[in-house]
Structure 1
Amino acid sequence: MTTTTARRIAIALAAGAVTLAGLSACAPLVVGGAAVAGAGMVATDRRSSAAQVDDQAIELRGAARIRDIANDDMNVTVTSFNRQVLLTGTVGSEADKRKVEEAIRRVDNVRSVVNEVVVGPGSSFPDRSNDAFITGKVKAALLDQNDIFANSFKVVTERGVVYLMGIATRTETDRATDVARGTSGVKKVVRMVEVISDQELANLKAQQPLSQMNGSGSTSTGSGSSAPASTSSSTSTSRVPLPPMEPLPGSPSAAPAATPAASGVVTTPVR
């Protein structure tokens, strides 16, 4: 067995094990990333250390807020990256969907919320297990690429739909999207990426080691603030929306290209 193969298997198994730990059918809510953060990730993450801490706090506080309003039909996952929150899962009504979003928007330091919660029956255990497996495969595939810094992206999967969250250049984002699209089992890719320029990335790399060592960071902004949440380790104020991607050749959705949702997120059909 080669080192690369062993590494891919280990990542897939680890991601699956962590995710499956929260897949109990009676659990109304899953916290997106608070359970798997480590000291090594802080040093290599493009987010500032302050943003990483805020993201974990947002997920934990969001979990508590939703737990207060949860019912038997509410199964929601809260994932935060650079203080931008993705909501996935299912609820029993449109009113519950609105209540979930309103609860998360009141959490301190949340910059924006993308509500991808679906009104309908909750996913089955096999569905959740499959999503965990897909997440592991996508992460492993990203790690195998020499032209992508895999830790720039957080991967979330819900019923075969892969969400890419991160801070990356347009080239990196397009490449990561292609990798995710080519992973078996992926139905669609949604990109929630803060696009930065090559110069901004160079500045980020130059400033990051110092900021991560001394733990410096900008003052967190309140919910709904339009001020950039990045710290001195990230000079980017770019919020460039990604353009729709062309459908894959022969795709049934080859008719028009995917249309950006009202939130600015772009969905990309895949095989």
Structure 2
Amino acid sequence: MKFVAYAFIALSSLVVLSGCTPTVILGGAAIGGVAVAEERSVGTVIDDATIKTQVMNAIFQKSEPMFTSTSTTVIDGVVLITGEVPTPEDRITLARLIWGVKGVKEVHNEVKVAGSGSGGSFASDSLITTKLKLKLLGDTEIMNINYSVETVDGTVYLMGIAQDEAELQRVKNHAKEISGVRHIISYVKTK
């Protein structure tokens, strides 16, 4: 299971770093391999990847700064968007763009408006996310491949599919142990 996760990360990096057709084919194979390892079907993983690509493209077309200051996760057609934008209108624009993408079933807009009391930094949020992902990877009682983690201003956002409530609680407990975590918001579904 862990090997599949490592393979996916390696192959995904190739997709991002290269525009070559063979790399895209490998990326597709990695998506298929991950789908076999996690709870979603291959078709659902492909649909989610398509939705994510379309959402990211729509945001990029609207505003490059908005694109670079936000992060998107898609699981089973449910979109979680995090990050920070300059105005409340930008936050609403993001929601409208996402709802305009075919296949989106639900939107969790956790984007913060700059200057609205948020004081977290990108570096500390990235460190929290990395620490939590490593803890999940090292815990043999958690199917870590089923979880997506984002951190914004010390708030950890979880998405994915838990095997049961006990597994989800283990994930939350790992998050609570990390210095700098202020809140944990879970959009995880139980199997």
TM over 0.5: yes
- Alpha-carbon offset, residue 81 of structure 1: 1.5
Query: C-alpha distance in 1, partners of 2:190/2:33?
Result: 24
Q: Deviation per CA, 1:135-173: give whole Å up to 9, x if none.
A: 221111112223222122111122322111111122211
Indicate yes or no: 2:60 matched with 1:60. no
- Alpha-carbon offset, residue 195 of structure 1: 2.0
Paired residues, what number?
A: 165
Indicate yes or no: 2:169 matched with 1:174. yes
For residue 156 of structure 1, the aligned residue among 150, 160, 178 is: 150
Query: C-alpha distance in 2, partners of 1:73/1:86?
Result: 15
TM-score by length of 2: 0.75
Q: For 1:120-269, what aligned pairs fall within 5 Å after superposition?
A: 120=114, 127-168=121-162, 169-196=164-191
RMSD in angstroms over aligned alpha carbons?
A: 2.9
List alignment gaps of at least 5 residues for structure 2. Answer: 17-26
| 3-state SS, counterpart of residue 191 of structure 1 | strand
TM-score by length of 1: 0.54
For residue 42 of structure 2, the aligned residue among 43, 49, 54 is: 49
- Alpha-carbon offset, residue 188 of structure 1: 1.6
For residue 112 of structure 1, the aligned residue among 106, 109, 118 is: 106
Residue 20 of structure 2 corresponds to none
- Alpha-carbon offset, residue 110 of structure 1: 0.9
Q: Based on CA coordinates, which of the two structures has the bigger radius of gyration?
A: 1
Moved over 4 A (4+): 71-74
- Alpha-carbon offset, residue 127 of structure 1: 2.6
Amino acid at match of 2:48: D
- Bigger RCO (CA 8 Å, 6+ sep): 1
Which has a greater percent of helix? 2
